[in-house]
Structure 1
Amino acid sequence: MKRAKRMECFRPSIFTRLEEEKQRQQKLGKTMIDFSIGSPDIAPARHIIDALCTEVAKPENYRYAIHDLPQLQTAIAAWYERRYQVSLDGQKEILTLQGSQEALANIALTICDPGDYVLVPDPYYPIFADGPRLAGAKVWFMPMREENDFLIRFDEIPQEIAEKASLMIVSYPNNPTGATADDRFYEELIAFARRYDIAVLHDNAYSELVFDGPLGKSFLSYPGAKDVGVELNSFSKTYGMAGARLGVLVGNAQLIEGYKILKSNMDYGIFLPIQKAGVVALNENQNCVETTRQTYIHRRNLMVRCFQEAGWQIRPNRATMFLWARIPQGYADSEAFALALLKHCGIIVTPGTSFGREGERYVRIALVVEDAQIEEAGRRLKESRLFR
């Protein structure tokens, strides 16, 4: 059976090896503590769940959703105005998605011709590179290094690459590093994009999970941003609606229109009960957002303390639900360390190499387990003496 050449973009990952080792350890009677999966474990607030349940029970909500509900467009525009002081035209500058990953996978199809370059941060969420490759584009990786606070350095991008680039993907607060970006960075980003006529896709899924300093801003908060790009936002991290798959693409009207045309030829809109639950999430009591933020802050502090007591010094993340932790000396790379951690401690983390070359000496730890498991992981680490 013939397989398309584009499938060469995808290869079996380290997760296969981790899963095999996990099953071997479980057969030996060991329990696993899994910090590898970045799936939020904090459910939506009760009023959001109730709204979804009510709407699911209505037969009329099972028709195709050809367009976004006007009330959802209005709620998104009001939330952006209230939260970021950004004005959006509901008809031209807002489009809902089956989760923000939908646009990350497909938007390059609307912007890039085969052979165009897409600028992608490294380390990176895998779909940042996979989507452009499926569109036939070439990927140029922009290193994010700890000594630069994991900020992209635009002066390191060769001019000949910038001139061939049609799209740049940027994401702060950042997965996997947990880094945030300041005003100067965004001003430089917009100037760079304008200079080389590059469209910007800013993934802002974690703007409500900023722990240190002021709350996260929108890319669109900065002058000129709408002229060069669009932003993704997500109901998954902010409101716990990960499985419901509801995201939003906002910003430049021309880019939005192009994606609307593509989407209309690929799929229908979002299931109506999910759209209506999204309206309730945006319009009603927002205390759940702060509760979620404080939960992750507590888990971060607990994990950093417990792991430090075991000898693993981890730099606290400024934002997101992830710690980006350096591995100890003596291991060839993050995959070797992750497998050793699983085998000796029953602790599963994601090797940094899953996120690109710059992740070779790091692992990602997701803050998606309860306190008792974090404390147990710390105890196992201390007993293992891997860090002594």
Structure 2
Amino acid sequence: MNHSPRLSQKITNIAESATLKVDARAKALKAEGRPIISYAAGEPDFATPQHIVEAAETAIRDPKNYRYTPAAGLPELREAIATKTARDSGLDVPASQVVVTNGGKQAVYQAFQTLLDPGDEVLVPSPYWTSYPEMIKLAGGTQVDVFAGADQGYLVTVEQLEAARTEKTKVLLFVSPSNPTGAVYSPEQTRAIGEWAESHGLWVISDEIYQNLVYGETRAVSIVEAVPALADRTILVNGVAKTYAMTGWRLGWMVGPADAMAGAANLQSHLTSNVNNVTQRAAIAALTGDQQPVEQMRQAFDRRRHTIVTELNKIPGMKTPTPEGAFYAYPDITGLLGQEWEGITPHTSLELADLILEKTNVAAVPGEAFGPSGYLRFSYALGDDPLLEGIQRLQRFFGIG
């Protein structure tokens, strides 16, 4: 009899996406009739802009989209992405250095697979997006966390990165704006980190998926714009999901040096082949068409940002820095732990998240999904009215209002 495990160890060791898990639970409870308000999903509540939908409707009637196309993406889309990268990231690249992927998530996965060998270390500023650790493990890499709390605005320093660097360090993960914190590195901070990475010959994977969702006078400066010398050792990952309310369309991309993109395209040719052609045609319309709907969404997010920060900070024990990008608030809730709330004393943010879901029908993602306990992530990509109502439920539960 074969006594080997039914499944591979690498698969059984993968943790479920915590954000999707919380969102699924919230939806299940809502289906049971409970008045759930969920701040769990990182997903705009807006419809995809109409001109993008119309481009897809046209594409689905065209037989040329029923066939295989190049694994790395339609030439027209790769050109559009190269143009966007020059405009927003300050990096001029030919379309041949663009690989179109099935969502930004696949772009990140392929970037780690392209660069990492077993034992290579990746410096990961923490708090971090919940999928990075699993992707690094699947590529054989070792994650090294570099933590910055609310007192630092969730922004790591060069000194912290240098203290974490070893001879095995190969990659720095750089994310600005951040999921889960909404933090954005200043141009000066970005330049300092980029120059440090370049001086040590590190690769950089820069996740720019929230690049166009910034507020006030803030601009998310790309690390390759801040330090052009890094361009030969940087992979930019991005996509249409967040900016254009296209999460379900599943289209992202990678931009990087020719050898890295050739390797990533080779991997994709065996993994998925080309991305859905109708979605690619829609993405062309997104990148080259009317940007006014995007601006309207951004303004709505900005309004909600002010609301959620103001209202969360009315709760004693919550410290919520003002996010400058993305659509998340990430309060430090350590002041609420260790106290009794309706007969229950939570000691971790996971326990607190469970408590507020049970008692207030409000779903938020605990800090354990993104690194250390002691935090909750609230997405403000939901309507103005439910956003305010959910926070008011929390205020009442914690003795305010």
Q: How does the TM-score come out when normalised to structure 1? A: 0.90
Other-structure match for 1:321: 327
Asked if structure 2 preserves the Cα contact closer than 8 Å seen for 1:21 and 1:343, the reply is: no
Consecutive unaligned residues of structure 1, counting only runs of 5 or more, are none
What is the total number of aligned residue pairs between the two structures? 384
Cα displacement (A) at 1:169: 1.3
Counterpart AA for 1:375: L
Structure 2 counterpart SS, 1:107: helix
1:82 alignment partner in structure 2: 87
After superposition, where does 1:1-388 map in structure 2 within 5 Å?
1-11=5-15, 30-67=34-71, 68-91=73-96, 93-157=97-161, 161-222=165-226, 223-308=228-313, 314-327=320-333, 328-329=335-336, 330=339, 331-357=346-372, 360-386=373-399
Pair 306,139 (structure 1): closer, same or farther in 2 beyond 3 Å: closer
Query: 1:149-207: CA deviations, max 9, x gaps?
Result: 22222322466843211222111100001100112222222222223322110001111
Q: Distance in 2 between matches of 1:111 and 1:306?
A: 43
Offset of residue 14 of structure 1: 6.2
Please give the alpha-carbon distance, in whole angstroms, between the structure 2 residues aligned to 1:97 and 1:117: 25
Q: Is the 8 A contact 1:9 1:133 kept in 2?
A: no
1:268 maps to a residue whose letter is S
Aligned-pair distance for 1:133?
0.5
Q: Cα gap change, 1:202/1:12 in structure 2, threshold over 3 Å: closer, same or farther? A: closer
Q: 1:296 to 1:17 in 2, by over 3 A?
A: closer
Residues 156, 51 of structure 1: alpha-carbon distance in 2 compared, 3 angstrom cutoff: same
TM superposition shift of 1:261: 1.9
Contact 1:31 1:346 in 2 (8 A): yes
- The change in CA–CA distance for 1:158 and 1:186 in structure 2 (over 3 A counts) is closer
Rounded to whole Å, the distance in 1 between the matches of 2:242 and 2:113 is: 26
- Deviation, structure 1 residue 334: 0.8
Distance in 2, matches of 1:53 and 1:204, equals 28
Letter in 2 for 1:367: Y
Q: Give the Cα–Cα distance (whole angstroms) in 1 for the partners of residues 358 and 12 of structure 2.
A: 31
Does the CA contact (< 8 Å) of 2:127 and 2:154 recur in 1? no
Q: Structure 1 residues 18, 103: closer, same or farther in 2, change over 3 A?
A: closer
2:378 counterpart SS class: strand
Distance 2:209 2:24 in 1: 28
Give the unaligned 5+ runs of structure 2: 340-345
| Separation of aligned partners in 1, 2:164 and 2:155 | 21
Q: Deviations over 1:349-374 (max 9, x none)?
A: 000111112xx111000112212212
Partner of 1:38: helix, strand, or coil?
coil
Q: What is the CA deviation profile of residues 209-243 of structure 1, one whole-angstrom value per residue up to 9, with x for unaligned ones?
A: 11132332222212212022111111011111111
Question: Cα gap change, 1:188/1:253 in structure 2, threshold over 3 Å: closer, same or farther?
Answer: farther
Given that 1:212 and 1:319 are in contact with CA atoms closer than 8 Å, whether structure 2 keeps it comes out as: no
Using the alignment, how far apart are the partners of 2:398 and 2:160 within structure 1?
40
Please give the root-mean-square deviation of Cα atoms over the aligned residues, in Å.
2.5
Change (3 A) 1:90 1:49: same
Contact 1:41 1:368 in 2 (8 A): yes
Q: CA 1:295 to 1:106, structure 2 compared with 1: closer, same or farther past 3 Å?
A: same
